[in-house]
Amino acid sequence: MKIDEIRIGMKASYTQTITDADIKAFAGISGDRNPAHLDEEYAKNSRYKRRISHGLLCASFFSAIFGTKLPGEGCVYASQTLNFKRPIYLNDTVTAEVEVISVDIHSKKILFKTLIKVKNRTMIEGEAEIFIP
């Protein structure tokens, strides 16, 4: 999508259920083998009482939206802030949502509000700045 086609308030989303395979694959790729993510027995004794997803696994869904939906092919991250508000558990279905909050045609940058939700509860929130080719 060309920058002059992007308007404040435009939205896009992506939904995925977090599986054991997702968590194990992300642990392998990222090197984050924290037992809070991988070990059910350890997690039972943690503050969360069961396994939680890597926060960055869920936040990576923003990249899926930006590269394929809004703004789409060729865009590149400039920055991302994240505020982790609640844990995301194994088998939760998460929805990543982005909304355009400003467009700078001169610098070819778009600022987005970013949210991860589970059952309409905000789990992760932040902002992302994206460069348009």
Q: Which domain holds residue 101?
A: 3-131
Tell me the C-alpha distance between 57 and 132, whole Å: 24
* pLDDT one-digit tens code per residue, 29-61: 999 999 999 999 999 999 999 999 999 999 999
Residue 10: strand, helix, or coil: coil
Instruction: Please report, for the domain that includes residue 95, its CATH number.
Output: 3.10.129.10
Q: Which residues of the chain have pLDDT under 70?
A: none
Q: What is the pLDDT of residue 7?
A: 97
Q: Kindly tell me the number of DSSP H helices and DSSP E strands found in the chain.
A: 5, 6
With b for 16 or more beta-carbon neighbours within 10 A and e for fewer, the 92-131 pattern comes to bebbbbbbbeebeeeeebbbbebbbbbeeeebbbbbbbbe
Question: What pLDDT, on the 0 to 100 scale, is given for residue 61?
Answer: 98
Model pLDDT, residue 15 = 98
pLDDT at res. 133: 87
Q: For the chain, how many structural domains are there in total?
A: 1
pTM of the model: 0.92
